[in-house]
Amino acid sequence: MSRHLQRDLDQIKKNLLQLGSLVETAIKNALIAFNECRPELAQNVIAEEKQIDEREVLIEEACLKTLALHQPMAMDLRFMVVVLKVNNDLERMGDIAVSIAERSLYLSSQDPLPSLLNLLSDMPDRIQEMVKKSLNALVSLDVELARKVIAMDDEVDSINRQMYEAFHVQVQQDPGISKTALGILSISRYLERIADLSTNIAEDVIFMEEGEVVRHQNS
């Protein structure tokens, strides 16, 4: 590998990790805004989305430039492919964090629904753990940690299914709460999507290290 290629790859990795940190913070703050009914924090998450979008574009442009200039091969090419995919997944996580923040603005003005909120209560911590572990697996190229992230996705899917069932029961019992209940259900759906994207990152770590495509395989 040439010195110039190594320099460019190191800078791309640095930028990707900075993007990961921005996204992790956005998710954390969006969930705090939701759990603690803090509309000002939700507004901050929405306002800071531009930073994530700009970083995502910067990384994509750097990757395309590096591919054109250096035409990397083998492991370096695999790294570039993974970076482009992870970059996109992180930007989508940032979009979802904004969606959670926007939904929390509405829910902060509504009466709480304890039955749904209690069922959802474990999900935010699990999601944040998945995001953190997937990024740690990426930084350290830790395949075993990546596989743990993939295994956690089933737990989140289970909670999301329970949320759908509870939603239908609640709305049948009291149609008047349907809009609020749908708002809470949407938070569950957003979190489940973040879990899927974290799983994508974990799968990409395995691909980068072992050349194994694990996406779409059954657990």
Cα angle 122-124-126, degrees, rounded to a multiple of 5: 70
Give 163-207 pLDDT, tens digit per residue: 999 999 999 999 999 999 999 999 999 999 999 999 999 999 999
Predicted confidence at residue 91, as pLDDT, reads 98
Predicted confidence at residue 75, as pLDDT, reads 83
Predicted confidence at residue 1, as pLDDT, reads 61
| Superfamily, domain 1-109 | Phosphate transport system protein phou homolog 2; domain 2 (1.20.58.220)
Is residue 70 within 8 Å of residue 10, measured between CB atoms? no
pLDDT above 50 (res 219): no
> Would you give the DSSP letter of residue 110?
S
In this structure, how many other beta carbons lie within 10 angstroms of the beta carbon of residue 209? 16
Give 53-97 pLDDT, tens digit per residue: 999 999 999 999 999 998 888 888 889 999 999 999 999 999 999
- Compute the average pLDDT of residues 116-129: 94
Give 124-165 pLDDT, tens digit per residue: 999 999 999 999 999 899 999 999 999 999 999 999 999 999
* The CATH number of domain 112-219 is 1.20.58.220: yes
- Domain extent listing, the chain: 1-109, 112-219
